[in-house]
Amino acid sequence: YKLEIKVEDKNNANFIFWDDQCFKFIEKSVADQIQLMKDEGEDDLKVYLDPLDKMLECTLAMRIRMQPKGTSEAVNTLADVNQASQCDSTQSLSATADHDPYMMLNVTPAKRLSSESLCDGLLCITLFNKDLKAHQNCKMVVQNFVVDLNKALVFQVGHLGGAYEEWVHQPIVSNEGPRFFENEILEFLTRTVWWAIPVIWLPVVCWFIHNSVQMGLSCPHLALLVVLGIFVWTLLEYSLHRFLFHIKTKTYWGNTLHYLLHGCHHKHPMDGLRLVFPPAATAILLMPFWNLVKLMATPSTAPALFGGGLLGYVMYDCTHYYLHHGQPKTEVPRNLKKYHLNHHFRIQDKGFGITSSLWDKVFGTLPPKMDAKSM
C-alpha cells in the first residue's frame, strides 16, 4: 500500500489516498499539522503512512512520514498525535483484523482539525470537516449535484436520485453528526440522548401494565402477556428494519424520507445523538399499533400486551446504542455487536435483527460466514 501526495500549495495541501482494494477521495487541509519541507524537491514528495493498518485500526490522528527527493530514509514531519489510543505501531494489518475485526475496541476519537473521526479495519472511510466540500471526483457528486456537508443535509439528499442508495451506504464514521435542518426547532427534535428512551418510555410501560392489573389480570397471565409482547416486538423489529428501513428509493421525497427514517444512521453510524428513535416520532408511530392491539385483544389484556411490546422497543433501542458505542466483555454481546456491525459495514441487505438473529434464521437473511483473515 502506498499513499501519494499532490502538493497544490504548501499552506493548503490536498491529500489523495488509495490502496488496492478501494479508491476513496480524501481532501484534508494540513497546514497546521505539517511544515512542508523547504527544499527544491518539494514537488516530488513521496508520502508513506507508517503503518497503514493504524489508519484502519486507530483514529485518523496518524503518523505521516515524508521522504524528500534524493533521500533514502523517511523523515518524521508529524509526531504521532494518537498516543491516547495506545496503538501498537508494530501490529500488522492481518493481525489487527484477527484481533479486532469489528471495531470492538471503540478507540477514543482524537481531535483532527475541526473533526472527530473513528475508523476500523472494515471501512473505506469518507472524511469531512468544516472546510471540506465534496470534490468532483468523489462519489458524493451525482449528475452535477454536490452534497455539501457544510449545509443541512435532509433537503439535499433527495437530489441524488437513483444514486442515493450507493451514497447512503458509504459511511462517514465520525462522532460529530451532520446538521439535518436549518430550522433550530426541527434540528433539536432530531437529536436524542440514549438515556431519554428508558426515562421516557419505562414509566409508560409500567402505566400500561398497571392498567391490566387494575382490571383483574393475574400475575402469571400478566407475565405471559408481557413476554408475548416482547416476542412480537422482535418480529416487528425485524420486519420494520428489513422492509421499511431498507426500502430502495430514488425519488426526491422517497430519498428524503428514507434518510430521515434510517438512511442517516447508515451514513453516520457513530452519531450518538441520532442512534435512538426520537420520542416525538415514536409517540406518533405508537398510536396505530395501540389501536391494532385493542382490536386484537380484550380490554384487560391489551394494555399488558402493548406494554410488553413497548418494553421490547426500549430494550431494542438501548441495545442498538450499546452495540455501536459499548465495549462488551462477554461472548454473547460481543457476538451481537459483530453481527450488527457486519450489517452496517459489509452486507447491508442481510442481518436485520438487532436484539437477536432469530428472524434472520427463520427468513433466510443470515449473512454468510466471514473469515476474519480475508478482511
Name, in order, each residue with C-beta under 8 angstroms of 177's C-beta and a sequence gap of 6 or more: 191, 268, 271, 272, 273, 274
Distance (Å, whole) CA 36 – CA 47 = 12
The DSSP symbol for 32 reads: T
The pLDDT value recorded for residue 162 is: 87
Asked if residue 19 has pLDDT above 60, the reply is no
User: According to the 3-state scheme, what is the secondary structure of 333-362?
Assistant: HHHHHHHHHHHHHCCCCCCCCCCCCHHHHH
Distance (Å, whole) CA 225 – CA 220 = 9
Mean of pLDDT values over 42-57: 33
Alpha helices in 81-135 (DSSP H): 93-99
- Per-residue pLDDT of 115-134, as tens digits, reads 333 222 222 233 333 222 33
- Per-residue pLDDT of 195-242, as tens digits, reads 999 999 999 999 999 999 999 999 999 999 999 999 999 999 999 999
Distance (Å, whole) CA 109 – CA 104 = 14
Mean of pLDDT values over 90-119: 33
Asked if residue 52 has pLDDT above 90, the reply is no
Is residue 82 within 8 Å of residue 117, measured between CB atoms?
no
Asked if residue 349 has pLDDT above 70, the reply is yes
Is residue 365 within 8 Å of residue 351, measured between CB atoms?
yes
Grid coordinates belonging to 160:
441524488
Q: Which residue has the higher pLDDT, 362 or 56?
A: 362
Is residue 210 within 8 Å of residue 203, measured between CB atoms?
no
Distance (Å, whole) CA 190 – CA 223 = 34
Grid coordinates belonging to 65:
512520514
The pLDDT value recorded for residue 11 is: 40
The DSSP symbol for 109 reads: P
Given pLDDT bands bounded at 50, 70 and 90, which one contains residue 77?
very low
Query: Residue 144: which region, alpha, beta or left (left: phi > 0; alpha: psi -120 to 50)?
Result: left
Mean of pLDDT values over 151-164: 90
The pLDDT value recorded for residue 341 is: 87
Distance (Å, whole) CA 134 – CA 16 = 13
Given pLDDT bands bounded at 50, 70 and 90, which one contains residue 103?
very low
The DSSP symbol for 191 reads: -
pLDDT above 70 coverage of the chain, percent: 59
Task: List b or e across 332-359, with b for residues whose CB sees 16 or more CB atoms inside 10 angstroms.
Answer: eeeebbbbbbbbbbbebebbbbbbebeb
Distance (Å, whole) CA 314 – CA 201 = 7
Distance (Å, whole) CA 361 – CA 356 = 10
What is the torsional sign of CA 110, 113, 116, 121?
Answer: negative
- Is this model's pTM higher than 0.75 or not? no
- Which of 47-61, 66-80, 284-298 holds the top average pLDDT? 284-298
Calculated CA dihedral for residues 139, 143, 144, 150, nearest 10 degrees? -50
Grid coordinates belonging to 53:
493498518
The pLDDT value recorded for residue 145 is: 63
Strands 64-67 and 111-112: unpaired
Q: Which of 30-39, 153-162, 190-199, 293-302 is predicted least confidently?
A: 30-39
Q: Which residue has the higher pLDDT, 43 or 259?
A: 259
Give me the residue label for grid cell 469489528. Answer: 102
SS3 289: helix
pLDDT above 90 coverage of the chain, percent: 45
Mean of pLDDT values over 89-117: 33
Across all residues in the chain, what is the average pLDDT? 68
Residue type, position 92, single letter: S
Name beta bridge partners: 239.
none
The pLDDT value recorded for residue 258 is: 97
Is residue 358 within 8 Å of residue 234, measured between CB atoms?
yes
Given pLDDT bands bounded at 50, 70 and 90, which one contains residue 45?
very low
